[in-house]
Amino acid sequence: MSAAGRIDAVLLDMDGVLYHGERALPDAASFMRRIAFLPHAFITNNPILPPAAVAEKLARLGFERPDPAQIITSAQATALHLAEQQPGFRYFAVGAAGLHQALAEVGTADQQAADFVVVGEGAGLDYESLTTGINLILKQGARLIGTNPDTTVDATIDGCHRILPGGGALLAPFAIATGVEPLIIGKPQPLLFEIALQRLGIETEHCLMVGDRPDTDIAGAARLGMRTALVRTGRFAPGKPWPEGLPRADWDCDNLEQLSDALTLLRSG
Protein backbone atom coordinates (compact mmCIF):
# COMPACT_ATOMS: atom_id res chain seq x y z
CA MET A 1 0.00 0.00 0.00
CA SER A 2 1.23 3.47 -0.82
CA ALA A 3 2.69 5.44 2.03
CA ALA A 4 2.20 8.68 0.11
CA GLY A 5 -0.28 11.31 1.12
CA ARG A 6 -0.56 14.09 3.59
CA ILE A 7 -0.71 13.43 7.32
CA ASP A 8 -2.20 16.25 9.35
CA ALA A 9 -2.71 14.53 12.71
CA VAL A 10 -1.77 11.45 14.67
CA LEU A 11 -3.76 9.18 16.97
CA LEU A 12 -1.75 6.97 19.28
CA ASP A 13 -2.47 3.88 21.28
CA MET A 14 -0.35 3.91 24.42
CA ASP A 15 0.24 0.51 26.00
CA GLY A 16 2.66 -1.41 23.78
CA VAL A 17 3.38 1.75 21.75
CA LEU A 18 4.68 4.34 24.24
CA TYR A 19 5.11 2.19 27.32
CA HIS A 20 4.76 -1.22 28.91
CA GLY A 21 3.15 -0.80 32.30
CA GLU A 22 5.35 1.70 34.12
CA ARG A 23 8.27 1.54 31.68
CA ALA A 24 8.54 3.95 28.76
CA LEU A 25 9.68 2.27 25.55
CA PRO A 26 12.98 3.38 24.03
CA ASP A 27 12.47 6.04 21.34
CA ALA A 28 8.94 6.78 22.50
CA ALA A 29 9.69 10.15 24.08
CA SER A 30 11.80 11.24 21.10
CA PHE A 31 9.07 10.08 18.69
CA MET A 32 6.55 12.19 20.57
CA ARG A 33 8.86 15.20 20.38
CA ARG A 34 9.15 14.69 16.62
CA ILE A 35 5.40 14.63 16.06
CA ALA A 36 4.67 17.37 18.61
CA PHE A 37 4.09 19.90 15.80
CA LEU A 38 1.10 17.86 14.58
CA PRO A 39 -2.28 17.79 16.35
CA HIS A 40 -2.42 14.47 18.16
CA ALA A 41 -4.55 12.51 20.61
CA PHE A 42 -4.23 9.33 22.62
CA ILE A 43 -6.90 6.64 22.41
CA THR A 44 -7.03 3.61 24.62
CA ASN A 45 -9.34 0.65 25.18
CA ASN A 46 -8.25 0.73 28.81
CA PRO A 47 -11.04 2.37 30.86
CA ILE A 48 -9.33 2.03 34.24
CA LEU A 49 -7.66 5.44 34.64
CA PRO A 50 -9.43 8.78 34.10
CA PRO A 51 -7.77 11.02 31.44
CA ALA A 52 -6.11 13.27 34.04
CA ALA A 53 -4.46 10.22 35.61
CA VAL A 54 -3.28 9.03 32.18
CA ALA A 55 -1.78 12.50 31.53
CA GLU A 56 -0.05 12.28 34.90
CA LYS A 57 1.31 8.84 34.03
CA LEU A 58 2.71 10.06 30.69
CA ALA A 59 4.44 12.95 32.47
CA ARG A 60 5.84 10.56 35.10
CA LEU A 61 7.28 8.35 32.33
CA GLY A 62 9.14 11.27 30.77
CA PHE A 63 6.69 12.45 28.11
CA GLU A 64 5.48 15.99 27.78
CA ARG A 65 2.29 16.16 29.86
CA PRO A 66 -0.67 16.19 27.46
CA ASP A 67 -3.89 18.09 28.05
CA PRO A 68 -6.36 15.52 29.48
CA ALA A 69 -8.69 16.51 26.61
CA GLN A 70 -6.19 14.82 24.27
CA ILE A 71 -6.82 11.48 26.01
CA ILE A 72 -9.88 9.45 25.11
CA THR A 73 -10.45 6.23 26.98
CA SER A 74 -13.08 3.59 26.20
CA ALA A 75 -14.86 4.68 29.41
CA GLN A 76 -15.32 8.19 28.04
CA ALA A 77 -16.38 6.96 24.62
CA THR A 78 -18.93 4.74 26.36
CA ALA A 79 -20.28 7.61 28.47
CA LEU A 80 -20.52 9.97 25.48
CA HIS A 81 -22.26 7.33 23.38
CA LEU A 82 -24.83 6.51 26.08
CA ALA A 83 -25.54 10.20 26.70
CA GLU A 84 -26.20 10.61 22.99
CA GLN A 85 -28.47 7.57 22.90
CA GLN A 86 -30.38 8.56 26.01
CA PRO A 87 -29.71 11.94 27.62
CA GLY A 88 -29.86 11.73 31.44
CA PHE A 89 -29.50 7.95 31.41
CA ARG A 90 -29.33 5.80 34.54
CA TYR A 91 -26.69 3.11 34.83
CA PHE A 92 -25.25 0.33 36.90
CA ALA A 93 -21.48 0.15 36.38
CA VAL A 94 -19.08 -2.68 37.13
CA GLY A 95 -15.47 -1.60 36.78
CA ALA A 96 -12.75 0.74 37.94
CA ALA A 97 -12.64 4.43 38.89
CA GLY A 98 -12.17 5.67 35.31
CA LEU A 99 -15.47 4.10 34.26
CA HIS A 100 -17.47 5.33 37.27
CA GLN A 101 -16.09 8.84 36.85
CA ALA A 102 -16.83 9.03 33.11
CA LEU A 103 -20.41 7.78 33.55
CA ALA A 104 -21.13 10.03 36.54
CA GLU A 105 -20.33 13.09 34.41
CA VAL A 106 -23.25 12.44 32.07
CA GLY A 107 -25.56 9.96 33.80
CA THR A 108 -26.91 8.87 37.17
CA ALA A 109 -25.93 5.73 39.03
CA ASP A 110 -29.06 3.73 39.88
CA GLN A 111 -28.92 0.04 40.64
CA GLN A 112 -32.69 -0.23 41.03
CA ALA A 113 -33.74 1.20 37.68
CA ALA A 114 -30.73 1.34 35.38
CA ASP A 115 -31.16 1.77 31.62
CA PHE A 116 -27.69 0.33 31.03
CA VAL A 117 -25.49 -2.22 32.77
CA VAL A 118 -21.97 -1.10 31.87
CA VAL A 119 -19.06 -3.47 32.34
CA GLY A 120 -15.47 -2.23 32.12
CA GLU A 121 -11.98 -3.52 32.64
CA GLY A 122 -10.44 -3.58 36.10
CA ALA A 123 -11.53 -4.66 39.54
CA GLY A 124 -15.23 -4.47 40.38
CA LEU A 125 -16.80 -7.75 39.27
CA ASP A 126 -17.99 -10.03 42.04
CA TYR A 127 -20.94 -12.35 42.74
CA GLU A 128 -23.05 -9.47 44.02
CA SER A 129 -22.47 -7.14 41.06
CA LEU A 130 -23.01 -9.95 38.57
CA THR A 131 -26.32 -10.79 40.26
CA THR A 132 -27.45 -7.15 40.25
CA GLY A 133 -26.52 -6.77 36.59
CA ILE A 134 -28.27 -9.96 35.52
CA ASN A 135 -31.48 -8.94 37.28
CA LEU A 136 -31.45 -5.46 35.75
CA ILE A 137 -31.06 -6.97 32.28
CA LEU A 138 -33.50 -9.87 32.56
CA LYS A 139 -36.22 -8.29 34.72
CA GLN A 140 -36.04 -4.61 33.84
CA GLY A 141 -34.79 -4.66 30.28
CA ALA A 142 -31.51 -2.81 30.91
CA ARG A 143 -29.10 -2.99 27.96
CA LEU A 144 -25.70 -4.65 28.38
CA ILE A 145 -22.73 -2.46 27.40
CA GLY A 146 -19.02 -3.33 27.39
CA THR A 147 -16.26 -0.71 27.31
CA ASN A 148 -13.85 -2.87 25.30
CA PRO A 149 -13.60 -6.33 23.73
CA ASP A 150 -10.07 -7.31 24.85
CA THR A 151 -9.95 -10.83 26.29
CA THR A 152 -6.71 -10.34 28.23
CA VAL A 153 -4.31 -7.48 28.90
CA ASP A 154 -0.65 -7.38 29.88
CA ALA A 155 0.41 -5.73 33.11
CA THR A 156 3.51 -5.35 35.20
CA ILE A 157 2.91 -5.84 38.91
CA ASP A 158 5.82 -5.50 41.33
CA GLY A 159 8.18 -5.78 38.38
CA CYS A 160 6.63 -9.05 37.15
CA HIS A 161 4.67 -9.57 33.94
CA ARG A 162 1.06 -10.61 34.64
CA ILE A 163 -1.81 -11.37 32.28
CA LEU A 164 -5.03 -9.79 33.53
CA PRO A 165 -8.62 -10.37 32.38
CA GLY A 166 -9.66 -7.82 29.76
CA GLY A 167 -12.99 -6.03 29.42
CA GLY A 168 -14.33 -8.73 27.10
CA ALA A 169 -13.62 -11.47 29.63
CA LEU A 170 -15.35 -9.54 32.42
CA LEU A 171 -18.35 -8.85 30.19
CA ALA A 172 -18.73 -12.52 29.24
CA PRO A 173 -20.45 -13.75 32.46
CA PHE A 174 -23.21 -11.13 32.02
CA ALA A 175 -23.71 -12.10 28.38
CA ILE A 176 -23.71 -15.82 29.15
CA ALA A 177 -26.11 -15.54 32.09
CA THR A 178 -28.60 -13.37 30.20
CA GLY A 179 -28.17 -14.62 26.63
CA VAL A 180 -28.18 -11.02 25.39
CA GLU A 181 -25.72 -9.59 22.89
CA PRO A 182 -23.72 -6.75 24.48
CA LEU A 183 -22.91 -3.51 22.70
CA ILE A 184 -19.13 -3.11 22.83
CA ILE A 185 -17.60 0.35 22.45
CA GLY A 186 -13.76 0.19 22.28
CA LYS A 187 -11.44 -0.44 19.31
CA PRO A 188 -11.87 -1.92 16.70
CA GLN A 189 -15.33 -0.32 16.85
CA PRO A 190 -15.29 3.17 15.29
CA LEU A 191 -16.40 5.29 18.25
CA LEU A 192 -13.05 5.99 19.95
CA PHE A 193 -11.47 6.92 16.62
CA GLU A 194 -14.44 9.11 15.69
CA ILE A 195 -14.43 11.03 18.97
CA ALA A 196 -10.69 11.68 18.63
CA LEU A 197 -11.01 12.82 15.00
CA GLN A 198 -13.84 15.13 15.95
CA ARG A 199 -11.81 16.65 18.81
CA LEU A 200 -8.86 17.24 16.53
CA GLY A 201 -11.09 18.55 13.75
CA ILE A 202 -9.19 16.45 11.20
CA GLU A 203 -10.41 14.55 8.14
CA THR A 204 -10.14 10.79 8.49
CA GLU A 205 -7.89 10.19 5.47
CA HIS A 206 -5.27 12.67 6.70
CA CYS A 207 -4.97 11.12 10.14
CA LEU A 208 -2.42 8.45 11.06
CA MET A 209 -3.23 5.82 13.70
CA VAL A 210 -0.21 4.31 15.47
CA GLY A 211 -0.92 1.09 17.34
CA ASP A 212 0.56 -2.24 18.39
CA ARG A 213 -2.38 -4.53 17.56
CA PRO A 214 -3.50 -5.46 14.04
CA ASP A 215 -6.93 -6.67 15.24
CA THR A 216 -7.98 -3.52 17.14
CA ASP A 217 -5.76 -0.48 16.42
CA ILE A 218 -5.05 -1.17 12.76
CA ALA A 219 -8.27 -2.91 11.71
CA GLY A 220 -10.52 -0.30 13.31
CA ALA A 221 -8.62 2.67 11.87
CA ALA A 222 -8.24 1.13 8.41
CA ARG A 223 -11.98 0.41 8.17
CA LEU A 224 -12.63 4.11 8.76
CA GLY A 225 -10.18 5.06 6.01
CA MET A 226 -7.39 6.34 8.25
CA ARG A 227 -3.69 5.81 7.50
CA THR A 228 -2.23 3.16 9.82
CA ALA A 229 1.13 2.28 11.34
CA LEU A 230 1.85 -0.86 13.32
CA VAL A 231 4.77 -0.89 15.72
CA ARG A 232 5.76 -4.38 16.79
CA THR A 233 6.62 -3.44 20.34
CA GLY A 234 3.53 -4.87 22.01
CA ARG A 235 2.17 -8.39 21.91
CA PHE A 236 2.55 -8.53 18.13
CA ALA A 237 6.27 -9.23 17.86
CA PRO A 238 8.68 -8.62 14.95
CA GLY A 239 8.53 -11.43 12.38
CA LYS A 240 5.03 -12.56 13.28
CA PRO A 241 3.00 -13.14 10.10
CA TRP A 242 0.15 -10.70 9.47
CA PRO A 243 -3.15 -12.22 10.68
CA GLU A 244 -5.29 -13.48 7.80
CA GLY A 245 -8.35 -11.46 6.94
CA LEU A 246 -7.18 -8.22 8.60
CA PRO A 247 -6.28 -5.09 6.61
CA ARG A 248 -2.54 -4.52 6.41
CA ALA A 249 -1.01 -1.43 7.96
CA ASP A 250 0.38 1.27 5.66
CA TRP A 251 3.56 1.15 7.71
CA ASP A 252 4.65 -2.06 9.49
CA CYS A 253 7.63 -1.27 11.72
CA ASP A 254 9.53 -3.04 14.45
CA ASN A 255 9.55 0.09 16.61
CA LEU A 256 8.91 3.84 16.71
CA GLU A 257 12.42 4.70 15.56
CA GLN A 258 11.82 2.78 12.33
CA LEU A 259 8.46 4.46 11.92
CA SER A 260 9.99 7.86 12.53
CA ASP A 261 12.51 7.18 9.75
CA ALA A 262 9.78 5.92 7.41
CA LEU A 263 7.50 8.93 7.81
CA THR A 264 8.71 11.37 5.20
CA LEU A 265 7.03 14.31 6.91
CA LEU A 266 9.34 13.84 9.89
CA ARG A 267 12.49 13.90 7.80
CA SER A 268 14.51 17.01 8.31
CA GLY A 269 15.96 18.97 5.44
Nearer to Mg ion, 34 or 232 (CB): 232
The sign one gets for the Cα dihedral 92, 95, 101, 103 is negative
15: annotated active-site residue: yes
Residue range at the interface with Mg ion (CB under 5 A); choices 63-71, 164-172, 197-205, 233-241: 233-241
Which amino acid type is present at position 171? L
Of residues 15, 27, 250, 252, which one binds Mg ion by CB under 5 A? 15
Beta-ladder partners of 209:
11, 228
The Cα–Cα gap between 116 and 118 comes to 6
Site size toward Mg ion (CB under 5 A) is: 5
Residue range at the interface with Mg ion (CB under 5 A); choices 12-20, 83-91, 162-170, 179-187: 12-20
Burial of 31 (0-12, 13-18, 19+ CB in 10 A): buried
Q: Answer yes or no whether residue 13 interacts with Mg ion by CB under 5 A.
A: yes
215: annotated active-site residue: no
Q: Answer yes or no whether residue 121 interacts with Mg ion by CB under 5 A.
A: no
Burial 64-83 (b: 16+ CB within 10 A, else e): eebeeebbbbbbbbbbbbbe
Q: Answer yes or no whether residue 250 interacts with Mg ion by CB under 5 A.
A: no
Q: Answer yes or no whether residue 212 interacts with Mg ion by CB under 5 A.
A: yes
Binding stretches for Mg ion (CB under 5 A):
13, 15-16, 212, 234
Q: Which residues are catalytic?
A: 13, 15
